[in-house]
Structure 1
Amino acid sequence: MGNASGVSVEELNACESHQWYRKFMSECPSGQLTLHEFKKFFGLKNLSDSSNEYITTLFNTFDINDDGCIDFMEYVAALSLVLKGGVQQKLRWYFKLYDVDGSGSIDRDELLLIFKAIRAINGTEQEISAEEFTSLVFDKIDLNGDGVLSLEEFMEGIQADEMLLKMLTQTLDLSHIVKKIYSEMCSEQQLT
């Protein structure tokens, strides 16, 4: 997922942490980021139904305590995952993101829905269609052929296939969001 503007979590000193906090509190004076504010925060409007579902699922994966809001600690945890998270952490998060219904497994429809929504939001064309990607994932890693992926199948299968890991990582790269926040923070700092 990369690092934004050359910044890593280790480099976020007390001053920068304070800036992250100021940015968060200026956007969310209550200290709680709701789904509506989350969409506004990232400039997401006029979304299709599938894109809106994806954003809701993304929001819910960052809402660690399931209270319907993202507080500053959850915000920092999300930034830490994006900037510093290892492959295992990111794959667990991807699995949670793809498991739209929270059943503990991913079916073809969930994977296809989220993958289409991600592409719509990112606005990028890929060499492979969302349908082809979904089929490829299931053909390669649904070893027992039951039509659903368990966390174990997902983790092991993606890690064992360099091409799938690269595609998944590139598709879910959120560093552009972190870069946007960071550049806005730097602009605000220069104005003060």
Structure 2
Amino acid sequence: MASATAGEDGQFKLSETSVLKIKKGDITQWFIDGSSDAIVNPANPRMLGGGGADGAIHRAAGPELREACVKVPEVRPGVRCPTGEARITPGFKLPASHVIHTVGPIYDSDKDPKGSLRNAYKNCLSVAKKNNIQYIAFPSISCGVYGYPYEEAATVALPTIKEFADGIKEVHFVLFDGNVYDVWLRKAKELLQV
């Protein structure tokens, strides 16, 4: 039975073994155990840092993160991580042990923004499982400069997480923006109630 816990955190049961927690905060400060946890970086295809959460994660992780990203092979010139795919690096100076980089769709120019956003979440969870990550924290992928409307993004993200979270103990959304947090919490109550 899904229920919201007291305090700021919204907690929802995804399966017998997986829980979703939605909280307001700074994803660069998030960690659970520092060994089997990962934060998701809403990267650009070059994976070399940028604005918003991407830039904040690179700054918090230190220059080693950029160096690790440079070593990720390009699949075509200027593209290390195509839209909807995911790559993993160590977390370096971050409290979380790993960073899973994914590229969300640019809402107005992607041919299938819903499919691309779904793939970004699904592939992050797949990479997490392959690397024995038990705890993962997502931002609201594509909701910043990529212009994905919050309501639509939550409607894609939450059911995708529920569908593919098996094998991961806790999935967190750590949302910096209060408006995004409010939308995610409301949509989770609508979409994830058992």
TM-score, normalised to structure 1's length?
0.28
Larger Rg: 1
TM-score, normalised to structure 2's length?
0.28
